[in-house]
Structure 1
């Protein structure tokens, strides 16, 4: 069976995404380890993961996170907050990684960016569980 050009591109994209997973894990662990936030519960972080899973828009994800910051202090406040660090990572490191993959694979940025954000946040939920219950 011969793969179509689109299938070959998708395989190339998936392989490239796997190559940046270590960075995604490190970025979210650093965000959780090095920023200020309150008594953030795993369920609240999972709500952010669910939003990411149900949208194709990085802006919707950031909007939801800002909404959560407005509701209570569990995500932190100010420039050294967890919320701000996650938004910075989405806009800088994650976007740059996605752009590199999109350029190399000659495909659209947005689906790759969303996939990387989803993985990043999923790894964050795991690390938060460790920080809350594993230490």
Structure 2
């Protein structure tokens, strides 16, 4: 019986995550369309995705992004930059969505938050590739 209820809870969580995907795509596309950054390569964005895939900490992801900002201007700097918008989305929009899913499914929001962050960044890598190479037709 307990296995069934856990399985049911996981299915509800996955459904909530799938329902949040449109928002994730819109948020990252808006970030890439409306913020400042310079000559950011898709491979550099994928490095951020790799960090997200190898950690269970949102703080580690934000720390890596801040490190990249400190190294060069590719992610932008300060308010209005791509880096600042990604961190803001992680801390606000994505976290809020994860908390809503967690509450409705009576589950810890942190693993949901990380899943949403990973998807958000993955969609960003795809969109940046499109902006860089697919949009120049």
TM bracket, shorter-chain basis: over 0.9
Matched residue, 1:44: 44
TM-score, structure 1 length as denominator?
0.97
Distance 1:69 1:35 in 2: 14
Segments of 5+ residues of structure 1 without an aligned counterpart are none
Q: 1:3, CA displacement in angstroms? A: 5.3
Distance 2:94 2:21 in 1: 11
Q: 1:113, CA displacement in angstroms? A: 0.0
Residue 88 in structure 1 maps to residue 88 in structure 2:
yes
Distance 2:111 2:6 in 1: 14
RMSD: 1.3
Matched residue, 1:102: 102
Q: 1:6, CA displacement in angstroms? A: 1.2
Query: Segments of 4+ in structure 1 off by > 2 A?
Result: none
Distance 1:85 1:19 in 2: 22
TM-score, structure 2 length as denominator?
0.96
Number of residue pairs aligned between Structure 1 and Structure 2: 135
Matched residue, 2:128: 128
Matched residue, 1:55: 55
| Cα-to-partner distance string for 1:89-118 (whole Å, 9 max, x where unaligned) | 000000000000000000001000000000
| Cα-to-partner distance string for 1:33-69 (whole Å, 9 max, x where unaligned) | 0000000001100000000000110000000000000
Q: 1:20, CA displacement in angstroms? A: 0.7
Matched residue, 1:29: 29
